[in-house]
Amino acid sequence: MRGADDGLLSRFLWLWPEPIPFRLGRALPGADWATASLDKLRELDLQPGAQPGAPARPIMVRLADEALPELEGFGRDMQRRQVTAGGLLRSALGKTRGQALRVALVLEFCGGVAQMVSARRRHRSPRGLSKRPTA
């Protein structure tokens, strides 16, 4: 390693959510529902390889048209911030566009899985990434 920025720290998601007052939960956790939801995520299929015997490939998920302006605005904002940032923050800001897409996709999958588990339906991959998780 030649310097402080080897790229590892910029791969972390640096978040500071709005604080909420501490409160002990009073309801029992839905462990069965959570387990069923995670099982559905685990069962997601990859796309078959291009040739017989070729390794499976990830499924490409389109970004919904209505989500494009928000994502572009977010990406431009991160680029502007990156220009004035220094050191490790500059590297972290450079990764935020891709991270935002990946987190939005995870939220889209989780939302779909939660609905399907609640309705006891078989899970299919989403056909597109909606505006809801990118907002």
Q: Are 106 and 124 in contact (CB under 8 A)?
A: no
Instruction: Using the predicted structure, report yes or no on whether residue 135 has a pLDDT greater than 70.
Output: no
Q: pLDDT > 70: what percent of the chain?
A: 83
Give the bridge partners for 49, in sequence order.
Answer: none
Report the DSSP pairing between strands 62-63 and 128-129. parallel
Instruction: Using the predicted structure, report yes or no on whether residue 81 has a pLDDT greater than 90.
Output: yes
Radius of gyration of the chain (CA): 19
What's the pLDDT tens digit per position in 21-47?
A: 999 988 887 888 888 888 877 777 778
Q: Is the pTM of this model over 0.85?
A: no
Nearest to 32 by CA among 130, 127, 120, 135: 120
Q: Are 39 and 113 in contact (CB under 8 A)?
A: no
What's the pLDDT tens digit per position in 84-134?
A: 998 888 888 888 888 888 888 888 887 777 776 777 655 455 556 666 655
- Please enumerate in sequence order all residues whose Cβ is within 8 A of that of 113, keeping only pairs 6 or more positions apart, or say none: 37, 40, 41, 123
Q: Which has more confidence, 83 or 15?
A: 83
- pLDDT number for residue 124: 54
